Amino acid sequence: MPNLLDNLENWFQRKISTATKQLTSVPKEKTLLEICKAVQEGVRARILAQDKGIKVFPFSNIEITIFAKDEEQRDAYEAVLTTDPPFTQRVEELILEEGCRTRGLRVVLEVAVHAALAVSEQPFQLKFSKAAAGPAPGVRPLARLIAVKGESETSEVEIVSDRVNLGRLREVVSATGSILRINQLAFAESETTVAREHAFIRWEGGVGRFVLYDHISGSRGTRIFRGGETIALPKGASKGTALEDGDEIHLGAARVRFVCGR
């Protein structure tokens, strides 16, 4: 018969084995980059393919919740996810790149503290809906940009999202080759007076206006020519200027006309 020591050793071995299994079954905590990629894939999976290669995103609202294990991690996540361009814009650009229209799309992001879900296999939640989530923002009117001076990828761009980037080259990449920004109105490489991340236009539903912001224009600056007057924008997206139909936007030597409601 096994003695007391043998029984104790067997019990101890069983406990060690159980603890080891439990330890190895705990999923590895995902990095924020991995989480963002998974969110994007979750959004991409909801795009529907129709006849003749047409793709449709059948929702008007996306609510993204990313879980953090504590307050410190939440603050760090929020700092990264809201850095210009914010992650919500990258989600919207993903849908555009897939060939879908995003007019009226609303993307909302929240970082919530939930220690257990933050280290789970899926540390985020996605909700899609067609009805307005919360107070309905002002309806974005029809608007477009027309390049009137300077060589550009396309001479006219319809504004189909709440943010439109203006700059040199379609894709702005970092030294390591990662995409920093996509310009919807992209000027040619030869247009050296236009900075790569020169300016952007944002629809602000709360005031019902399109607002132009200088971004990283350097010494070139961003200006609006309106009714014989020139309005210089503050540098660095600190404060924008509301656009009016017919405004001419000056990006260095390049010129873009803003047309709204017609």
Residues 99 and 177 in one domain: no
100 and 172 belong to one structural domain: no
Condensed to tens digits (0 to 9), the pLDDT of residues 172-199 reads: 888 888 888 889 999 999 999 999 999 9
Per-residue b or e along 67-102, where b marks 16 or more CB atoms closer than 10 Å to that residue's CB: bbbeeebbeebeeebeeebebbbbbbbbbbeeebeb
134, part of any domain: no
Extended strands (E) in 87-170 = 106-113, 124-129, 143-149, 156-158, 163-168
Which of the listed residues 75, 94, 129 is the one where a domain comes to its end? 129
pLDDT, tens only, 116-132: 999 999 999 999 998 64
* Three-state secondary-structure class, residue 90: helix
pLDDT for the residue 19: 52
Parent domain of 185: 143-260
- The 8-class DSSP code of residue 231 comes to E
Within-domain flag for 4: no
Amino acid making up residue 215: H
**CATH code for position 235:** 2.60.200.20
- Note the pLDDT of residue 133: 46
Print pLDDT tens along the chain (262 aa).
555 556 556 655 665 555 555 544 445 788 999 999 999 999 999 999 887 788 999 998 899 999 999 988 988 898 888 776 788 888 988 998 888 877 778 888 888 989 999 999 999 999 999 864 444 456 888 999 999 999 998 889 999 888 999 999 998 888 888 888 889 999 999 999 999 999 999 988 877 889 999 998 888 889 999 988 899 888 876 778 999 999 999 999 999 999 997 6
Q: Please indicate, yes or no, whether residues 125 and 205 belong to a single structural domain of this protein.
A: no
Element (H, E) at 173: strand 171-173
Residues belonging to the chain:
262
pTM here is 0.50
Q: Are 111 and 221 in contact (CB under 8 A)?
A: no
Same domain? 45 vs 148: no
Alpha carbon distances (Å) from 177 to 31, 32, 58, 172, 181: 20, 19, 32, 9, 12
Number of structural domains in the chain: 2
99 and 156 fall within a common domain: no
Q: Among residues 135, 157, 137, which one has the least CA distance to residue 146?
A: 157
User: What pLDDT was estimated at residue 3?
Assistant: 59
In a domain? residue 199: yes
